[in-house]
Amino acid sequence: MYMTSVRRYLCLLLALLVSTTLFAANFDQQLVENINRMARDMHLARRAISESGIKGAAAAAAFSKESASVDNLKRLFSKIETPEQAERAAQQIKLYGYRVTNQTEKRAFEQSLNLLEARVKYLAQTENPRLMGNLKSIQALRKEFAGNLARVDTNVSERVQMLARTSTTAPRSNTRSDAQLGAYVIKGNTAFSVYSPDATEVKLHIFKNAADKKGVEYVMTKSNRGIWHHILPGELYGTYYGYTADGPKTPGFLFDPERLLSDPYAFANVDHNGKSIVVDRTFKWTDQGFKGPISKDAIIYEMHVKDFTAHGSSGVTGPHKGGYLGMLHGKGTSRVLGHLKELGVNVIQLMPIHEFDNNYAGVVNHWGYMTSHFFAPECSFATGKAGQAVKELKTLINGLHKEGMAVVLDVVFNHTAEGDHRGLPINFKGFDNPGYYRLMDDRKFYWNGTGCGNEMRTESPMTSKMILDSLKYWTKEFHVDGFRFDLGTIIDKKTMQAIIDELPQDNILTAEPWAADWQRNQWGKSDFRNTRLSKWNDDYREKIRSFISGQGSRNDVMTVMAGSCFWWTAKPSESLNYLEAHDGYTLNDLYKGDKKKTRLAAITLLTAQGVPMIHAGQEFNRSKGGNHNSYDQDNNTNYIDWTVKDKNRDIFELYSGLIGLRKKYPNFRQAVALNSQHLEWIQPANSNGLGMFLKGKDNFLVLLNGDSKDWVNFKLPIGGVWQVVCDGEKVKDAGLYTAEGDYNVPPTTGVILRK
């Protein structure tokens, strides 16, 4: 009888857990779908009234659909029982509120909030008084959005929605400029197009020189899609241009007919705040047949263009020093291009090369995370500022492809160099400030979940289109092989999904799954599971760093070494593993020059399941003198000192050897979540020790000891002789020596055995 009661209790508990899990898995998606459906039905009802009157048959049918969608939402909310579920629903409605662009979406938001409030109020009064706290949160949420939603401009939204329905290959009107933004040379003419839906006048200004104060003005013509265009005779390559725009002076708009604006779609620009350039983009590619690695096989090398060759030790001199073309120097040597080949990485991830503000708000902005133009390459890395960057960057990518290395761009679509309310318009603000940016209730100010002054309104159809246009442009025009999305969760979920769906399937895609302000996240780590998007794994970084310091949790280490599949990934390639990046301390600085720890870091990184990333100089124990945030250091703090490689040749050879093993043996880069067919764990008595038995045609043992004082004994899982291919300092595929029976691993050391 007692056992029967226990079983009944366990069954009830299991049912409750399953029910809770299913609620979490399905509720968010159902709620968003229901709100969107309700907004659509409200829109149809409103349109039917305008066409046939409130008593018309069409209006009656539309009202019936609207009523049905409201009832569906009521039924969904009836599943809510707990404060946690009510909070989850409120958060989803809040995220929907941030994306409201028109009156019907506003009504859907308000109706959803009303229905949720009614359900929570009923539960709080009849079943669970704890829900009174949720009731107060819902009321605060309504207050938060009241001012912002009151200013929703339906006319702007409808025009933008119409534009969004046209892709970059939209049906052409009489002029190419009406379908394609930017400056194009077409059949002996040059067409200029710029988007500004609320402008009352836009003028094109043509200049002979970059420094000219006054040019020739042309009044542009506006299409019914909010695009202004003008065509001039002649192939105007090398011509400088800009725009002025006038329009409403109401809150949120920043029109100034006296301020020259650059082209948001400029393919070349003079610095971040200069004139745009009509540039000849023709280039003879010789990388035919190049195919980069698929995501699970990628070994990513994160680097900054200037830093790689700006130091005197690089051997690069003259105009190529610190630039795109400088990276192709050193072939056949142990520096620059020769170094990359010697190391063996197969993906080069360039820190931002979109045109950026190099001196943001009076402070040096060396890393490039203040983008001003999403189609123009940074001109300071080129031999000149008259459009040379276009050809020189293509030359670099073409050269890297010929050496077998793919190229990934670090892109920053979460904010721009225009900054907060104190920043002057450069381009986006002056053409469509409320369309390109998320504005607060007081429309003078910007949401700032990036910590950089503003957030791009990526959910706006035109901004979303611009992002996709940019990514497709770099893929097609520059043969780029993938993208890394800075502060990726500021990009709305719908746009992120479109990126995954619409970019070429062989593109490598990775993102930071966080924002500077966690409350501004549009999605989280567990979103986009089982897609090709990988996410920077800070769990891996922190758990392994702790383990190397002798303080880690073995269970956590097992999870991240296996690709974090029990936490938030569906397969290992969704985890981008790193221990050093441009942000934070170098490993050498973090561990205060302790080579045993940096060697163990290398072994854990390159034997873990997932996509490994190495930061430039990590492979030879580079130091930044303890500077953990060197974004403003355009000097030797960031420049790669190649003499350090000579001093730490042992560390470099360890990395190179480990990369060779990883590329040769599939044990280290599985395509699916690992099970007992792929992996068994060895857990010795010392909890700072851990062994990975990776099965395959060749069997591997990775034995890790994070204890700084004691040796750890491991019993080898298969009898017979094993080859020790890495002893913690050296790597040799043929084997350094043999082992059998037990193996004792020294303190703070990792070894690899093969059988």
- In angstroms, rounded to a whole number, what is the distance separating the alpha carbons of residues 524 and 537? 12
- In angstroms, rounded to a whole number, what is the distance separating the alpha carbons of residues 644 and 642? 5
Q: Which DSSP string corresponds to 391-439?
A: HHHHHHHHHHHHTT-EEEEEE--S--TT-STTSPPSSHHHHHHHHHB-B
pLDDT reported for residue 22? 46
Assigned domain for 456 exists: no
pLDDT reported for residue 13? 42
* Percent of the chain surpassing pLDDT 70: 89
Assigned domain for 207 exists: no
Band (pLDDT 50/70/90 cuts) for residue 152 is low
pLDDT reported for residue 150? 58
- In angstroms, rounded to a whole number, what is the distance separating the alpha carbons of residues 692 and 684? 12
Q: Minimum mean pLDDT among 65-74, 334-343, 489-498: which range? A: 65-74
Q: Minimum mean pLDDT among 5-19, 163-177, 648-662: which range? A: 163-177
Assigned domain for 630 exists: no
Residue 60, helix vs strand vs coil = helix
pLDDT reported for residue 320? 98
Q: Which helix (DSSP H) or strand (DSSP E) does residue 464 occupy?
A: helix 461-477
End-to-end CA distance of the chain: 54
pLDDT reported for residue 58? 62
Mean pLDDT, residues 168-187: 59
Alpha-carbon dihedral 110, 115, 120, 125, rounded to 10 degrees: 120
CA dihedral for 325, 328, 330, 336, sign (positive or negative): positive
Mean pLDDT, residues 92-105: 77
> In whole numbers, what is the pLDDT of the chain averaged over residues?
90
Residue 232 has pLDDT above 70, yes or no: yes
Assigned domain for 699 exists: yes
Distances (CA, A) of 624 to 348, 363, 546, 554, 641: 21, 19, 21, 31, 10
CATH no. for residue 690?
2.60.40.1180
pLDDT reported for residue 109? 87
Total tally of structural domains belonging to the chain = 2
Q: Which DSSP string corresponds to 197-242?
A: TT-SEEEEEEESSTT-S--EEEE-EE-TTSEEEEEEES--TT-EEE
| pTM attached to this predicted model | 0.79
Residue 89 has pLDDT above 60, yes or no: yes
Among the candidates 116, 136, 152, a domain finishes at: 152
Mean pLDDT, residues 316-327: 98
* Beta strand pairing call for 742-745 and 749-754: unpaired
Residue 403 has pLDDT above 60, yes or no: yes
* Beta strand pairing call for 482-485 and 406-411: parallel
Among the candidates 152, 168, 201, a domain finishes at: 152
Assigned domain for 391 exists: no
pLDDT reported for residue 63? 64
Q: Minimum mean pLDDT among 49-63, 183-197, 329-343, 740-754: which range? A: 49-63
Band (pLDDT 50/70/90 cuts) for residue 187 is very high
Assign residue 457 a region (left: φ > 0; alpha: ψ between -120 and 50; beta: otherwise). Answer: beta
In the Cβ-directed half-sphere of 721, how many Cα atoms lie within 13 Å? 5
Tokens 């200049």 locate to: 207
Task: Name the nearest CA neighbour of 474 among 606, 610, 340, 374.
Answer: 374
240 CB burial (10 A radius; 0-12, 13-18, 19+): buried
Alpha helix ranges (H) inside 562-680: 587-590, 595-607, 643-647, 649-664
Among the candidates 105, 124, 152, a domain finishes at: 152
- In angstroms, rounded to a whole number, what is the distance separating the alpha carbons of residues 332 and 327? 13
Assigned domain for 93 exists: yes
Band (pLDDT 50/70/90 cuts) for residue 680 is very high
Band (pLDDT 50/70/90 cuts) for residue 133 is confident
Mean pLDDT, residues 240-247: 98
- In angstroms, rounded to a whole number, what is the distance separating the alpha carbons of residues 510 and 531? 11
How do residues 509-553 score in pLDDT, each as one tens digit? 999 999 999 999 999 999 999 999 999 999 999 999 999 999 989
CA dihedral for 42, 45, 50, 51, sign (positive or negative): positive
Structural domain span for residue 727: 679-754
pLDDT reported for residue 473? 98
The answer to whether 710 and 730 have CB atoms below 8 angstroms apart is no
pLDDT reported for residue 1? 40
pLDDT reported for residue 103? 78
pLDDT reported for residue 166? 40
How do residues 582-622 score in pLDDT, each as one tens digit? 999 999 999 999 999 999 999 999 999 999 999 999 999 99
Assigned domain for 352 exists: no
pLDDT reported for residue 420? 98
Alpha-carbon dihedral 605, 608, 612, 615, rounded to 10 degrees: -10
Task: Name the nearest CA neighbour of 200 among 230, 218, 175, 226.
Answer: 226
Assigned domain for 236 exists: no
pLDDT reported for residue 341? 98
Band (pLDDT 50/70/90 cuts) for residue 165 is very low
Residue 379 has pLDDT above 90, yes or no: yes
pLDDT reported for residue 142? 82
